[in-house]
Amino acid sequence: MLRKHSGVICVAMCYILIGISYPVAKEAMESIPTWTFTLLTFLIAVVALFPLSLFIDKTNWLTIPLRDWTAISVQALFGAVLFTVFLLYGLPTTTAVAASVITSVAPAVVLVLSALFLKEKMQMKSLVSVLLAVISVIVMTLPGAGEGTGHNSLSGLLFLTLSTLSTSAVIIFAQKLSSQLKPLTMATGVCLVGAVLSVPLALPELRTFALTSLTQSQILVLVYYGITVWALPYVFFFHGIWRIPASTAGMTVALVPVASVLTSALFFSAAITATELTASGLIVASIVIAEMKLRRRALVAPVKS
């Protein structure tokens, strides 16, 4: 039971850290070219994780089998590169409300995919938990629904949908392509492959952007982002993802916008509304329901054996 609870906590921490980091890194992300920012933060994550993989996991990178490199590469492709590409191409031509609503369906997408590809049963508690997670993010968009004046393009909505599918696919692939590598090594490998895949996209930007123009504050944000969006979240993700059902992991994706809103309110003086507090409460409720399901499974399993 403790193992499964820790799995939920680890995966939840992954998405909480990502949500917290968005308000912190927003200014730097707007002033540094997108893929230059992505490449640099991936490299920082690798610098932080690689020595740890050698000294803690005792990983021999030259002997990692092809199967494990395949799992690492798929995670990096869908979880980092494709997700970022689709998100960045979709956001400029869609409203914030549309983006939040589309992102909020990720738990439901994971639930369906886990039933189709992982043969997980759609139990009532899973459906209720995911439904609360989806409703929470939709509710959170309501205060700003009347403020936006932008329009949604079909291509923008398509890209955002693809970004949501990429996020969902990461969880499914993590369950499907299990690896014998330790979480720290997996996280290092994903960041390494993510950096390699980002190079072709960053090179055109580096022709017109001088790295020497980076300010001290921008460098600090790059380091912060590399550690708290790539390095630590992936370590948490791989510590927990193989301990819990994919449907439960998918539910925690909805923590990203909730963590972002709360961080903006607490540390950046952003106003927080009763509706946003309600949305956060719904997320907590969805996690509690998921934990109740896990506790029941953990108690019943020994009786069957």
The string of pLDDT tens digits covering residues 195-208 is 999 999 999 999 99
pLDDT value of residue 98: 61
pLDDT value of residue 149: 45
Predicted TM-score (pTM) of this structure: 0.81
pLDDT of 245 over the 80 cut: yes
Alpha-helix runs per DSSP H in the chain = 2-31, 34-55, 66-76, 83-90, 96-104, 106-117, 124-141, 154-176, 183-206, 216-225, 232-240, 246-251, 255-267, 274-304
pLDDT value of residue 66: 92
Q: Which domain, by its residues, includes 6?
A: 2-304
pLDDT value of residue 148: 46
φ, ψ (nearest 5 deg) of residue 60: -100, 100
Q: Is 52 exposed, middle or buried (0-12, 13-18, 19+ CB in 10 A)?
A: middle
Block residue for tokens 């995670």: 75
Domain count, the chain: 1
